[in-house]
Amino acid sequence: MNMKETIAINARKQFDKHGYHGAALREVCEMSNCKMPTLYYYYKNKEILYDCVVGEAFIELVSRLWEQLPTNVDIKEYSTLMVIQKKHLTEDERIIYRLAMKTWLGFEECGQCRERLLDWEQTTYDNSWKQYQDIVGSKQWAKFISRSITSIIQRIILLNEEISDNEIREEIIMIFEVASSSKDKIRKE
């Protein structure tokens, strides 16, 4: 592992433990066995550090995780496997995911990183909503599916809730059934 990666991992640990404002860059340097000029060589300031080690790292992580998912399964199974995948993240991946979620929710006041995550989310959700809308026939129900799946992931990542694979599968099936049954009711009316 090179120095930049070492700094990134230790910075995430500090941000995770103390939050954006509470994390001390001196402590990151001490944990990384480097001096402040070395940290500033790689990261111009604390906000850029946070954006790189959380925002950029999260987008890269999610892209890599998506590439690992099978493409020859239906959307319910794909969604189920996507959620189950979050139970098996490494410690550092879990920290990245947790910090990104906290930033996205507005708990960490790093504006640059939050803007990056919100822009990424809009593009990503637009694609998901289109896929789900084809199944349930309504953009509102497609948003319901996306947000419900996100809620399950938040329980796993933020609350460290132990959810069995079977329970995840049942919840996702139920989410799709509720959304699909509303589509059928709308057609009947």
String of DSSP letters for 66-128: HHHS-SSS-HHHHHHHHHHHGGG--HHHHHHHHHHHHHHHTSS--HHHHHHHHHHHHHHHHHH
CA–CA distance, 56 with 58 (Å, rounded to integer): 5
CA–CA distance, 160 with 148 (Å, rounded to integer): 17
Query: How many residues are there in the chain?
Result: 189
Q: How far is CA 154 from CA 10, 36, 45, 79, 147, in A?
A: 23, 34, 29, 14, 10
The full set of domains in the chain, from first to last, is 3-188 (1.10.357.10)
pTM assigned to the model = 0.87
Per-residue pLDDT of the chain (189 residues; tens, 9 = 90+): 899 999 999 999 999 999 999 999 999 999 999 999 999 999 999 999 999 999 999 999 999 999 999 999 999 999 999 999 999 999 999 999 999 999 988 887 788 888 888 888 888 877 777 788 888 888 888 889 988 999 999 999 999 999 999 999 999 999 999 988 865 554 444
Report which of 179, 74, 81 is spatially closest to residue 137, judged by C-alpha positions.
179
